[in-house]
Amino acid sequence: MSTQISKKRKFVADGVFAAELNEFFTRELSEEGYSGCEVRVTHARTEIIIRATHTQDVLGDKGRRIRELTALVQKRFRFPEGSLELYAEKVQNRGLHAVAQCESLRYKLLGGLAVRRAAYGVLRFVMESGAKGCEVIISGKLRAARAKSMKFTDGFMIHSGQPVRDFVDEAVRHVLMKQGVLGIKVKIMSGWDPTGQAGKPFPLPDAVTILEPKEEAPITAPISESRQPAASEVVPGQAFPGQDNVAPAVAAEAPGLQAGAPGAAY
């Protein structure tokens, strides 16, 4: 028997579930290039789609890894047997996903690569993938004993308004180094792509499109236009084209009314 729950409590419960699920996959699948997850709830079962750059490692040998993850999630959140399914989806363009690039930068720094070289490598890969702009911030004890922050930017980046939520993907990770903890923040701004594969299917609200003027036929000879005069241009008592025979027609329709005849007063 299902218990009744208010909409407010349901929204909070769904948010807590999604946040805890994302935190679990972030810790468990960091080496597999985890980039996010999506929860789809139907009347029969709950489906969780895991997006990662290395889907084969998420699935494991003969699907062993995905079955282990399914059992862990099912036990933690008390799903009934057979009501939960986990799927792995490959990230199409990992250069436009901030989480994937943040994890890539994290492993480069753990491998001993220089900070500038690692950051510029991520910037170049992101811009070559079709992004409109990218920003990488690394803070902590980089080389000296005193902590500092280094910012690397390329392209165009917006920082305020609703378009930030629509176009900018942001991720934050922490790297435990020998000298201390480094903080990494990666922001990627995608462009406009009508297909929705390499960017958003709608442009920025302040984008201006300049249309080409229509081609007109060249004028080779003088052109005269005939037009009817406007009401304000008509002078009383003056006939204009098309009204030459109006008075005779009126006289013909009323033969009893002739000029100078009795009763023909005007």
Q: Is residue 168 domain-shared with residue 147, that is, in the same domain?
A: yes
For the residues of the chain, what is the DSSP string, one character each?
-PPP--HHHHHHHHHHHHHHHHHHHHHHSTTTTEEEEEEEE-SS-EEEEEEES-HHHHH-GGGHHHHHHHHHHHHHTTPPTT-EEEEEEE-S-GGG-HHHHHHHHHHHHHTT--HHHHHHHHHHHHHHTT-SEEEEEEEE-SSSSS-EEEEEEEE----SSHHHHHHEEEEEEEEE-SSSEEEEEEEEE-EE-TTSSSEESS--TT---PPPPPP-PPP-S------PPPGGGPPTT---TT-TTHHHHHHHH-TT--TTSTT---
Question: Residue 248 pLDDT > 60, yes or no?
Answer: no
Q: Torsion over CA of 49, 50, 54 and 57, rounded to 10 degrees?
A: -100
- Domain assignment present for residue 80? The answer is yes
User: Last residue of a domain, which of 90, 124, 142?
Assistant: 90
Question: Residue 65 maps to which CATH number?
Answer: 3.30.300.20
The pLDDT tens digits for 91-103 are 888 889 998 899 8
| pLDDT for residue 231 | 64
Question: Residue 155 pLDDT > 50, yes or no?
Answer: yes
Q: What is the mean pLDDT of residues 111-128?
A: 94
Q: Is residue 61 domain-shared with residue 111, that is, in the same domain?
A: no
- CB contact at 8 A, 121 and 106: no
Q: Is residue 157 domain-shared with residue 180, that is, in the same domain?
A: yes
| pLDDT for residue 70 | 93
Q: Is residue 110 domain-shared with residue 171, that is, in the same domain?
A: yes
- Domain assignment present for residue 81? The answer is yes
User: Last residue of a domain, which of 155, 190, 225?
Assistant: 190
Question: Residue 259 pLDDT > 80, yes or no?
Answer: no
Longest Cα–Cα distance of the chain, Å, equals 125
| pLDDT for residue 241 | 56
Question: What does the block give as tokens for 212?
Answer: 């080409």
Question: What does the block give as tokens for 9?
Answer: 């409590």
Q: For 20-24, 76-80, 193-197, 260-264, which range has the lowest pLDDT when averaged over its residues?
A: 260-264
Q: Is residue 11 domain-shared with residue 70, that is, in the same domain?
A: yes
Q: What is the mean pLDDT of residues 69-84?
A: 91
Question: What does the block give as tokens for 109?
Answer: 């720094």
Question: Residue 157 pLDDT > 70, yes or no?
Answer: yes
Domain ranges, residue 54: 7-90
| pLDDT for residue 242 | 53
Question: What does the block give as tokens for 62?
Answer: 């003969």
Q: Is residue 61 domain-shared with residue 27, that is, in the same domain?
A: yes
User: What rounded mean pLDDT belongs to the chain?
Assistant: 85
Q: Is residue 47 domain-shared with residue 22, that is, in the same domain?
A: yes
- Domain assignment present for residue 195? The answer is no
- Domain assignment present for residue 47? The answer is yes
Q: Is residue 84 domain-shared with residue 116, that is, in the same domain?
A: no
Tell me the C-alpha distance between 168 and 98, whole Å.
9
* Total of domains in the chain: 2
Q: Is residue 114 domain-shared with residue 147, that is, in the same domain?
A: yes
Q: What is the mean pLDDT of residues 12-22?
A: 93
Question: Residue 247 pLDDT > 70, yes or no?
Answer: no
* Residues 6 or more apart in contact with residue 133 via CB below 8 angstroms: 153, 154, 155, 156, 157, 188, 189
Question: Residue 176 maps to which CATH number?
Answer: 3.30.1140.32
User: Last residue of a domain, which of 173, 190, 207?
Assistant: 190
- Domain assignment present for residue 79? The answer is yes
Q: Is residue 56 domain-shared with residue 127, that is, in the same domain?
A: no
Q: Is residue 169 domain-shared with residue 119, that is, in the same domain?
A: yes
Tell me the C-alpha distance between 86 and 71, whole Å.
10
| pLDDT for residue 208 | 87
Tell me the C-alpha distance between 216 and 169, whole Å.
46
- Domain assignment present for residue 1? The answer is no
pTM over 0.75? The answer is: no
The pLDDT tens digits for 209-242 are 889 998 888 888 887 777 776 666 666 666 555 5
Q: What is the mean pLDDT of residues 24-42?
A: 88
Question: Residue 1 pLDDT > 50, yes or no?
Answer: no
- Domain assignment present for residue 253? The answer is no
Q: Is residue 83 domain-shared with residue 144, that is, in the same domain?
A: no
- Domain assignment present for residue 73? The answer is yes
